[in-house]
Structure 1
Amino acid sequence: MHQPVNRNAMLYIDRPPERHRLVQKLQSITELTAEERQALLDLPMTVRSYTRGEDIVRGGGIPSECCLILDGFACRYKLLPDGRRQIMAFHTPGDLPDLQSLHIQTLDHSVGAMMPTLAAFIPHASMRTLTARFPGLMHAFWRDTLIDAAVFREWLIGIGRRDAHERIAHLICEMLLRFRGVELAPDNTFRMPATQGDIADALGLSNVHVNRVLQDLRRDKLITWGNYTVSVLKWDELQKRALFDATYLHQVSRAAA
């Protein structure tokens, strides 16, 4: 069974802007036919709202649905027995953070909202019917899963080998391109409601270290970051600071930032 239904759960008959997020995400990494795009838009979705800090998907659960982030921001995380947290991924609108639940019965991590977030739940049966009818979409979801693994590898390299400036600059570069992929980064600006503590938990740094690096990036006029809004001011210089190579995101097209 999935986790208890959020008290704010409701079924939306039609939410065109949000429903297009999945199409936008998959089109950023592969080509879709008109029929495939329509089939994605026609998927049954139960939409639930979450507040910051609330679990969208809970570790240890046995879900019967896949979760799709429609609006907001989320993180994938695990807690140690003493309460220490490791954030393993940030998730933007269009992401399916528990797509693996189609094939792995028990979840070994949680997905939590980092701001007021809308998440859609798509029955596994509907996903299986969809991919049986449209093999191209099965390959698109498989490609998305492989890219998710590539992102994990980059984060592992970051924690193991990049210094603090490179880690944080690299994260900002990655998030800009991911938000651009779903058309949510106008003028190289995007909403990232992560606190310094969240960034520390994701990148293996102390809060103090995160604060110092962000001050340096602001001082050098590479970024602005305030009220949970990030603007990249000097894309080329930020990439150099991060030693950033976007190949691992495998986006079909990336307009110059």
Structure 2
Amino acid sequence: MRSFPADQEIVRDGDDPDHCCLLIEGFMHCYKQLETGKRQIVSFHIPGDLPDLQTMQLNVMDHALGTLTPCVVAFIPHRALHLLVGEFPNLAVAFWRDSLINAAIFREWVVNVGCRPGPQRLAHLFCELFYRLETVGLAHKDGCEMPLTQAVLGDATGLSSVHVNRMMQDLRGRGLIATKAKFLQILDREKLQDFAGFDPTYLHMKEVLSP
């Protein structure tokens, strides 16, 4: 278990880690950094996530993993995980399911950045984060923690900070959200989901019982 400050790179692109990270507290993100310095965030991670589970099978990281806020992270050696999977096959099923859900989220993010207009991109991202936080008991009835800067939101949605600011004003003007002190308040959840075209099916949050 280790504590990290915000904006700390945990695993670098090209690393060959011998452990997986389990996020205990805080927010993390996976991203690709171009030689020009431009960054594309490809996923956000919340407490309970194993954001680099693929390193159990893939030797080299093809992206970076870092903190967005102060975080507490547990490091679990690959060897220990392989032993656990061998002893408890249902754990292997759970890991496989987790990887498939992450792939589904990646597909939705491609659609979000490639097809939706700016306001809908942000609205869809907010719906996803709220739904995921709510599922693990980290969201209130009318909102959730949202410690993401406009620059971070822009890197996740393919928008500039200026455009993010305009899109946020648009969502506020429609009476869909309000923001205060790193907290996202959802004023009308149903309307926000309709506006974003958000269908949580791709998150596959419903419990699946083993046969």
TM > 0.5: yes
Point out the structure with the larger strand share.
2
Q: Distance in 1 between matches of 2:180 and 2:162?
A: 17
The AA in structure 1 aligned to 2:71 is: T
Q: Distance in 1 between matches of 2:87 and 2:134?
A: 30
Alpha-carbon distance, 1:189 to partner: 2.2
The AA in structure 1 aligned to 2:106 is: F
Matched, 1:239 2:179: no
Alpha-carbon distance, 1:165 to partner: 1.1
Structure-1-length-normalised TM-score: 0.78
Q: Is the contact between residue 176 and residue 188 of structure 1 (CA under 8 Å) also seen in structure 2?
A: no
Q: Is the contact between residue 56 and residue 119 of structure 1 (CA under 8 Å) also seen in structure 2?
A: no
The AA in structure 1 aligned to 2:83 is: T
User: Which of 12, 22, 32 lines up with 1:58 in the alignment?
Assistant: 12
Alpha-carbon distance, 1:219 to partner: 2.2
* Alignment match, 1:79: 33
| CA distance 1:248–1:82, change in 2 (3 Å) | same
* Alignment match, 2:123: 169
Alpha-carbon distance, 1:166 to partner: 1.0
After superposition, residues 110-125 of structure 1 pair within 5 angstroms as: 110-125=64-79
User: Which of 162, 174, 188 lines up with 1:220 in the alignment?
Assistant: 174
Aligned length: 207
Q: Deviation digits for residues 49-70 of structure 1, max 9, x if unmatched?
A: 1111111222211111100111
Q: Which runs of 4+ in 1 moved over 4 A?
A: none
User: Which of 140, 156, 160 lines up with 1:206 in the alignment?
Assistant: 160
Matched, 1:152 2:106: yes
- Secondary structure of the 2:141 match is helix
Alpha-carbon distance, 1:114 to partner: 0.7
Q: Deviation digits for residues 25-81 of structure 1, max 9, x if unmatched?
A: xxxxxxxxxxxxxxxxxxxxxx11111111122221111110011100011011101
Alpha-carbon distance, 1:209 to partner: 1.2
User: Which of 116, 137, 142 lines up with 1:183 in the alignment?
Assistant: 137
* Alignment match, 1:251: 205
Structure-2-length-normalised TM-score: 0.95
The AA in structure 2 aligned to 1:165 is: P
Could you tell me the percent identity over the aligned residues?
47
* Alignment match, 1:28: none
Matched, 1:92 2:46: yes
Q: Point out where structure 2 has 5 or more consecutive residues left out of the alignment.
A: none
Q: Point out where structure 1 has 5 or more consecutive residues left out of the alignment.
A: 1-46
